[in-house]
Structure 1
Amino acid sequence: MIQSRLQSKLFLMMMALAIIPLLVFVGLTEYTQRQVLLQTAQQNLRALARFQSLQFDEFLREKKQLLHALSAKDIALTKQLNQAPPNRASLRSLLQQKQTRGKLSAIGFFRHNGRRIVSTGTTLPHKLAPLTQRGPHILGVVHFSKASETILRMAIPWRDRREPRTPETFLVVDFPFSLHVRFLQEKRAPAFKVNITLLDQQQRVVCGSIALSHTRHLFGKTHTLPSPFQTPHTGTALLPQRYKNQRGIMSLGMLIPLQETHWKLLVELSEEHALASLYTLRRHSLILIFGVMCFLILMVGLFSRQVVQPLRQLLAATQAFARGQFDATLPTPPHDEVGALIHAFEQMRTELRSYYTELEEKVEHRTHKLVEAQRFSELLFQAIPDVILVTDKALRVVKANKKAFELFGEDIIGRYCYHLFEGEGTEHTQCIAHQVLTKGQPISVEDDVPHPQLGELFYKDFYPIHNQHGEMIGVLESAKIITQRKMMMSQIIHREKIAAVGLMASGVAHEIGNPLASISALVQRLQRKGKDSPFSQTYDELYERCHYISGILETLSHYARKEPLQASPLDLHKEAERAMALVRFDKRLRRVQLDVAIQQTLPLLWGKDGTLSQVFTNLLINALDATEDVTSPQIELKAWPTRDGLRFSVRDNGHGFQEQDKDKLFEPFFTTKEANKGTGLGLAICKQIIEDLGGTIEVKHAAPQGAIFEVSLPLRQAPIHTTQPEDTQ
């Protein structure tokens, strides 16, 4: 490649320095020589044309003088002509003598109407055109192709001195004209190759110096003059003109009128003949240029051998050095600039090899450190106990740590981060990472709802990732599982609520217990004294209500202190009737359609007497509160046995509950009722009583509206023992 480029540049440079000036010189020389040759040809053409015109005029004067001499007084001819009829034999004899003496082609007498009287020779016809001119004049030039002869026909009136009237007889003479044609051809200048054409007044070819066959073909035909001679004044122009002739050849021509006649003389010279020496010079110039180019090619080849080849080898060595091959062979340095370049390159190779070796050692050392740092960073990244995700701008996961793979599977790379945390089908606009990309600020959020697949709660941090140009290229997401922490916090809050309930229960039991004990003692005294009184049933009911209130206070104390209960057989039917007896005093029950479906023969349960009646009472009162604003309120209480226990439910068609409040309904002090209508302890106490009995309570939506509280209780054959007391603080 370098060889071809240097050779091309060197060849072009030498062409620019040698060939181009030579071409310019040859061009200028050819142009100058062309102008000189054309000017010389025009001068020679002008001289030759004038010479030919003078020569032809002299020829015509000679023929006219000869014609005058022939028509001079000849008594014998006049006598014979005057006879009537003329003696043709005598006239022919006399005319033959004149033909012989004048070396004529033919001679004869003709009437003025053109009819022949007598003639000699074979060229004169029987009839000519009418003869009217009085002086000697030319009748034309006649060419006989069979005899290969051309004659000049002239006529002169034959007058009798005794009768000077209008002549009726003309002497017609045919002069041989071929000799003059040959003379014109011989007079052509060999260096110019001139063609001479004689034209009559009708532009018909009379004769010329062109080839004989061509002359025969053109003889008597109209010759189209070149365009420079077609102007009205060309008859007097004496300057050569440049034009294309009838054969399409560029020529120099000159048209000269003849003085003795109305004929014209056209002298032509082709440029090819005029510039013959120029073409010779051009061939010599081409040979010279070819020789110079051969010399330049030879010089370029020598230069390539001495300079380009070492440079090419040096280039190959350079390319080998670029690939790290420092043992490439260098060319033998000559004693010139190329040799100095090779020595410098050898020194550079030595230094570069040393530097390359040192650089490899440094690179290897730093690469080892970088690999160790990357490995340590990767270990730290994978050892982080939280979920770490790195996403691109499209929120697709591009990198994840070990914890993320454990939780979300091995196929998380390439998935959308919001599908991992929020579930499939989630829109990207709902993702916190999308907000980070939009705002460019970190965001932290804490889950309130467990993960749909994992069931865990996360505390998530989202940080934007920027490149070195400050452009945002992705998001770093950190997710920490806080389910246990949430549960511990819930337990702590629950214990604090229990402690508050305990304090409240202690105060309530103390404040209400003493007056209740007095009321109960008073009611017992009234029962003993008024057994036969009409109010004895009322006294019994009052005592029953005091006993119920005492049981509630005992339940509150147990809820706060987790004291062991006194277990006894429980009849679910009787517990429900006890609750119904208590609720029937509520006036709201009058407008409610209450449906009770409890079997009479249900198995007995073990538990504290009166506890289930408290559960029924709370659930029924809640149902009355929920249906207070309903147009047709309905409450349904059902109980039925199961394979391993009992189950009962309370259903209403009230306003129901919100789904997000479902898990909070059984927490202490949580209520959805208006102010002054609930304390938030009823369902919490119910749940505690059911759990003490080993059962469960759950709530669900009823169709088309309302709520269903359903309790499941197991059957037990032995007394129930609760857990050990806990510290209320």
Structure 2
Amino acid sequence: MRKKMQSIRNKVLFFGLLMTIIPLALISVYYIQNMADYVGETGEEMQKMRLEHLATDIRSEIRQVMDQLDVLASLERPAEMKGPFYEVLSSQDAIDTLVVIDRDGVLLSQVARHTLNHADTGDTWPVQADSGVTPDAGEPVISDVLVNEYGQPYMQMIAETGTDGLRIGATVQLQKLIGNVSSYQLDDEAVIYLEDPSNQVIAHQDYSKLWQPSTEETAQGIEIRTEIDEVQWELVMEQPRREALSPVFDMMRRGGFTATVMILFGSVISVFAGLYFVKPIETLQQGMRRMKTGYWPEAMPVERQDEFGELTRAFNEMNETIQEKEQRLRQEKERLDIVVNSMDAGLAVVRKDYSIAWMNPKLEGWIGERREVPCFQLFHDQDDACYACPLRDEVTYDKMDEIMTRKDRSGAERIYRHRVFPLNYTLEQDEEALIVMEDITEEKQMEEKIIQTDKLSALGLMASSFAHEVNNPLASVQIYAEDLSDRLTEDEAELLESGDMAHYLQVIRKNIDRCKTITGNLLNFSRKENWEERDIRVRQVVEESLVLMNHSLNKQGVDVTVTEEEGLPAIRGDALKLSQVFVNFIQNAIDAMAGKTAPALSIRLYQEGQDLLVDVADNGSGIRPEDLDKLFDPFFTSKPTGKGTGLGLSVCYGIIKQMNGVLEVESEPGEGAVFRVRLPVPQKETNPEHGEV
């Protein structure tokens, strides 16, 4: 079912039906909802106006009674005047009794509609309005709704006269005052009632609900309330929502039928239009399926002149182009296979789990076809990945480049350059890197010969220095030995007792040790040996290099300064090769400072980030800008003929590169030169079996 829904035909049909049904349905719902809101708001406003009109009538009746009491209260001797009281009774049907009482409620005068109008001395009028409602200051006090002995509701109003504490009281019949509430005509199911401040119904169109608490359920209906402020009553009207919205329901039925007809009509049109547009796409899909199976279809006929016709023409062109490119790819693959298989370098593709995905025949001939073995075991015979391998998550190097030694199948030791490059675009997700291995045994042997040649050249330059350095201590040995021999023939006992013999022997031993150190350093420097990597202290290598060049420095009067930053770590490398680099720098500095009145050589050792730096600076003649780019080229020299071979700095560059370092130079003509060696400090976690670097 899901696969059928993913077809273009079903998607187009579904989309057409969806775009037909949803807009029409949304428009219909929006229209009906707005009409319902409008009708509801209009009906509610009309009912509110009717309710407010009825409330205004009730307020008017109450206000008239209050105004009549205010008139009676303004009389000077109300207890002696009966006429105004009778006039009020005749004009206000709601008033049943009018009385004049003192502050204690003693009845002084009474005018009643249904009883005798006289008052016995000492009679009291039951005052109920003291706990009632006082609308505003200076207006009559109104009691709560009361019921007399006949079951008729009434209330009291009392107004202050301001004369000797006399008060005017009135008994008001509610039936006369609010009877129009019960008789008010509304719609069939609408009701209207009046509540006192305690939510008790005091007027209702349904007499069975009088004097009952208000419990009308209005959650499904419309409820409108308005207050009668004079007595704090609330006039309420309720109407069922279905009655208020009956016109809306009729409109919804008619609108729903119309919308259904429109949706059906639009759906039919959408289905036919969808099938018409999908047909050429299905034809192209069939052609694509044939291409997927490896069968190249013939050109499809172009039957339409619209965008689908253009799509068919584009498909035919694409089909022809793909066939041409496939043929070219076959040719390129054939050429690439020839190139890769004939290369003198070994190639391998490594997966993320370090297994070999592919290797060329050259690499198979070197190490054998063992693709199931991880690359670090295959190349290094170790149990973990190489410390600088780009496949390791914690490594941030862009590539890996190292020198390693292995024995070939005949047992001969060979030197290989081992490089690893990350792959960014691969067909398989687990193919991560390309390994390139080159047999550089002959190249390394040639480099060693060049290095040895440079050593011999340096030894030739140091020959006179060596003779002088050895001659001085030998001359001292000779002098002390002859003097000691002469004194032994004279008085051997005195020589022993004075300690002169021990002193002479100590001086002779000291000078012999100095000769031994000088010859040892020279032999060590000239010794030919393979690359040997170990932990070395750069300061010690610098001091040994200065000892070798000591005579030349003293002869030219060079002021040598060596400064070292505290706490410098050891580095990995070959001390003898590094010493050869410093000897070359010192010799070049001596040559550059020839003729200087105050030659100075400064050597500074410091750390910068993860690198240890050595700056060898002189105040010689400097280097011309045009020579800086050629400085490390083999056989390039700016010295006169016979002064140099041009191999020194080239050899230095190769040695520093073998130690994974960088050789830099800064110079201005006439301002001297600074040769800077930048060597990497080993990480705390290193792999001890990673081959030669």
Q: Which has the larger radius of gyration?
A: 1
Answer whether TM exceeds 0.5 for this pair: no
Q: Give the TM-score category using the shorter length.
A: 0.3 to 0.5
Q: TM-score, normalised by structure 2?
A: 0.35
